[in-house]
Chains A and B, each alone.
Chain A
C-alpha cells in the first residue's frame, strides 16, 4: 500500500550488532504497530504506538525497543541482534478497530 512503507526491505546482519527498521506512513493514522511473522506462529505483536512518544509492549517485546518522535515514523530497534530475531517484520497502521489495519510490505531480517 502506497500509504505505508518499510525500510529496508531486506537486511542481513551479524549477531550482536544493532539494527533499526523504519516504518513511514503518509496517512496520518494515530496507531502504529510492529509485528513479526514466523512459520507456525502467524503474526505476533512486538510493540505498538497510540501517539507521538506513546508506546507500549506487545506479546513478544523482549530484545526490542521502539520510538515514535513524529506521527509518520515508527522505528523498531534490535539493540543486539540474535539469531532468534531472524524473521519477517511487518508494520501496520490504523485509525481504530472498525476501520481495519493496513500493513506494509515487510522487512526480511536475517541474523547470522
Chain B
C-alpha cells in the first residue's frame, strides 16, 4: 500500500536558520503530494502541494519539489521564525483511488524554533 515516511522530531532550530524536513513516499503510480501544518490546538492547514513530477509547491517562504526519481517531497525554508513552530505533515493521495479515498499521512514532524 501507499506510505509516507518523515522524521518525527522534535526538530529544534534557532530563528533565521535554514529548515529541511525530509519526506519520502511509496506509491504505485503518480500521487499528488501535500504538506500540511498544524499549529497548537488547531486543525490542519494546507501549506503547499504538487500534483506532478518536478512541480514545485511554495507558500509563505516554504517550498517543496516533487521528485519522482527519489520519491521525495522535502520541505525547505530559508529563514525560519518563531511563528513557524508547529507540527508539519507530509501526505499523498492514492493514485488509483479516483480522488475519493483521502490522504495518507506521515506521522508528523514537530518543529520548535527558538528565539
Q: Are B46 and A42 in contact (CB under 8 A)?
A: no
Bound-state Cα–Cα, A48 to B51, Å? 22
Q: Name the one of A1, A40, A48, A104 contacting B101, with C-beta atoms under 8 angstroms.
A: A48
- Given A33-B102, A58-B102: A42 touches B34 (CB 8 Å cut-off): no
Q: In the complex, how many angstroms separate the beta carbon of A102 from the nearest chain B beta carbon?
A: 8
Q: In the complex, how many angstroms separate the beta carbon of A56 from the nearest chain B beta carbon?
A: 7
Q: Name the one of B43, B102, B107 contacting A106, with C-beta atoms under 8 angstroms.
A: B43
Bound-state Cα–Cα, A106 to B43, Å? 6
Q: Are B49 and A100 in contact (CB under 8 A)?
A: yes
Q: Are A43 and B89 in contact (CB under 8 A)?
A: yes
Q: In the complex, how many angstroms separate the beta carbon of A27 from the nearest chain B beta carbon?
A: 14
Q: A62 within 8 Å of B by Cβ? A: no
Q: Are A31 and B100 in contact (CB under 8 A)?
A: yes
Please classify the interface of chain B as helix (H, G, I), strand (E, B), loop, or mixed, using the class held by over half of its residues: loop
Contact with B along A42-62 (1 / 0, CB 8 A): 111100101000001010000
Q: Are B102 and A92 in contact (CB under 8 A)?
A: yes
Number of interface residues of B (CB under 8 A): 24
Q: A90 within 8 Å of B by Cβ? A: yes
Give the contact-size bracket for chain A: 20 to 34
Q: Are B93 and A42 in contact (CB under 8 A)?
A: no
Q: Are A105 and B43 in contact (CB under 8 A)?
A: yes
Q: A98 within 8 Å of B by Cβ? A: yes
User: Which B residues, 74 to 115, have Cβ-Cβ distances below 8 Å to chain A?
Assistant: 89, 93, 97, 99-108
Give A residues with C-beta under 8 Å from B.
1, 31, 33, 35, 40-45, 48, 50, 56, 58, 90, 92, 94, 96-98, 100-106
15 examples of A-B residue contacts, CB within 8 angstroms: A1-B43, A31-B102, A42-B105, A43-B103, A44-B105, A45-B102, A45-B103, A48-B101, A50-B100, A58-B101, A92-B102, A96-B99, A100-B46, A102-B46, A105-B43
Beyond the given pairs A48-B100, A56-B101, 9 more chain A to chain B contacts, judged by CB atoms under 8 angstroms and listed by A's residue number, are: A41-B107, A90-B43, A96-B99, A97-B51, A98-B32, A98-B51, A100-B49, A105-B42, A106-B43
